[in-house]
Amino acid sequence: MDPIKLSQDLIRCPSITPKNAGALEIVEAHLNSMGFTCERLDFEGIVNLYAQKGTGRSRLCFAGHTDVVPVGAEDLWTKAPFEGEIKDGQLWGRGAADMKCAIAAFLSALSETKSQNSISLLITGDEEGEALHGTQRILPLLMERGLIPDLCLIGEPTALNEVGDTIKIGRRGSITGKLTCFGQQGHIAYPQNTDNPIPRLMACLQELYAYPFDEGTEFFEPTRFEVTSIDVGNLATNIIPQKAEACFGLRMNTLQKADELCETLKGICVKRAGRHDLKLTIHGNAFLTEDKDKIRCIQEAVKKVTGRLPSLSTTGGTTDGRFISAYCPVIECGMLEKTMHQVDEHVSLKDIQHLKEIYLSILQAFFLPEATTSAREDPIS
């Protein structure tokens, strides 16, 4: 199976969340041809696919998503975002880095292995959006059926400079919020008749920026608060606004729990913001895979292809690993991160082939202990 041709086929599906646009049908057709049992698990109009094949004591699951983010201003693209054009040794299109080429590489690796061990795939069409009706809806069903794997390999982009140079063994948790401070609108020449909400908003944000959440851990940076926008909805220079709003995000490590951080945020706002409204959304807690044997197994499998051990990282945005990690260990390994979600997203053809070889090496390494045991138990004469 040619991973480059399959990558092109997937990119040509304009599967902007929540649209599927035929992408999962392509994946399903290839898995059926390899003898996988495929099941569509659709919720609230979101298309998901679970596929399983083989038996054995060890279970490996590959997880990913076929949905992509919007293209933005299409006139800024030098290559059409959904044509899968190949030029200058690169494959161009939305989803090339995140993460259709990784799915194609894994399917191609599967087509070259004759393993009868337990391999499954969980592919969702709801990762780039709210992620309410994809992976986190499927996991409880797999738990009920006794199908939780021993390790989940996620094909999210992880590489910094070369495919295989970095794998993710965890991710930071995420909270986003919007703080609105209310005041009394009026003329700036009559401050006694007004209540300016801006100083209160700024005082609150300053305390949040300076708050000593923690100092980080061996694998995680310190928990960090960042303001993403401030708006007063006022273009006049002689009017004190009625309200001031700020949107913000907070990325936390494993020293923190999202619900406890929300209480901290609420307390600071009560103290500093005066009359206000605070809306908070928890996107997930941080997670860290600590199974050293599985981490080393994947590292050695990658090294067999690249010649070097990949670095271990927890940086970057949230993934469906935040849901899966509650059920089993998670390790992420995929394409370069550089152009994901950007105009002119692209990956090199060489990297697609290398990632396929890495996935094939991982498949062989993960099941090697079981194969060795089986050989000892049933020697060939």
The pLDDT score that the predictor gives to residue 116 is 82
Task: Dump pLDDT digits (tens) for 119-130.
Answer: 999 999 999 988
Read off the pLDDT of each residue in 138-167 and give the average, rounded to a whole number. 97
The pLDDT of residue 299 is above 80: yes
The pLDDT of residue 368 is above 90: no
Long-range contacts of 21-25 (CB under 8 A, 24+ apart): 23/66, 23/67, 23/100, 23/125, 24/48, 24/49, 24/66, 24/123, 24/125
The CA distance from 84 to 11, in Å, is: 6
Q: Same topology for domains 3-171+287-377 and 173-284, yes or no?
A: no
Percent of the chain with pLDDT over 90: 93
The pLDDT of residue 195 is above 70: yes
Residue of 91, 93, 130, 77 whose CA lies nearest to 13? 93
The two counts, helices (H) then strands (E), for the chain are 9, 19
Catalytic residues: 67, 127
The pLDDT score that the predictor gives to residue 89 is 97
The CA distance from 112 to 116, in Å, is: 12
Cβ-based neighbours of 250, under 8 Å, separated by 6 or more: 174, 175, 176, 177, 223, 224, 225, 226, 261, 265
* CATH of the domain spanning 173-284: 3.30.70.360
The pLDDT score that the predictor gives to residue 375 is 33
User: Where in the chain are the domains?
Assistant: 3-171+287-377, 173-284
What's the chain's average pLDDT? 94
The distance of Cα 153 from the centroid of its chain, to the nearest Å, equals: 12
Cβ-based neighbours of 349, under 8 Å, separated by 6 or more: 4, 86, 89, 90, 91
The pLDDT score that the predictor gives to residue 57 is 82
Read off the pLDDT of each residue in 298-314 and give the average, rounded to a whole number. 98
The pLDDT score that the predictor gives to residue 374 is 37
Rounded to the nearest 10 degrees, what angle do helices 3-11 and 23-33 cross at? 150
The pLDDT score that the predictor gives to residue 55 is 86
Beta carbons of 157 and 336 less than 8 angstroms apart = yes
The architecture in CATH of the region 3-171+287-377 reads 3-Layer(aba) Sandwich (3.40)
Read off the pLDDT of each residue in 10-18 and give the average, rounded to a whole number. 98
The pLDDT score that the predictor gives to residue 115 is 77
Q: Tokens in use for 378?
A: 């049933």
The CA distance from 100 to 94, in Å, is: 9
Instruction: Give CA separation, 33 vs 110, 117, 324, in Å.
Output: 11, 17, 27
The pLDDT of residue 39 is above 50: yes
The pLDDT score that the predictor gives to residue 376 is 32
The pLDDT score that the predictor gives to residue 381 is 20
Q: Residue 330: in which H helix or E strand, if any?
A: strand 330-332
Split at pLDDT 50, 70, 90, the class of 369 is: low
Q: Tokens in use for 343?
A: 């105009």
Torsion, CA 209, CA 210, CA 214, CA 217, rounded to 10: 70
The pLDDT score that the predictor gives to residue 378 is 33
- Could you tell me the end-to-end alpha-carbon distance of the chain, in angstroms, rounded to an integer? 34
For residue 16, which phi and psi values (nearest 5 degrees)? -70, 130
Q: Exposed, middle or buried, 22 (CB in 10 Å: 0-12/13-18/19+)? A: middle
Read off the pLDDT of each residue in 37-54 and give the average, rounded to a whole number. 96
Percent of the chain with pLDDT over 70: 97
Q: Cis check for the bond before 99: say yes or no (omega within 30 of 0).
A: yes
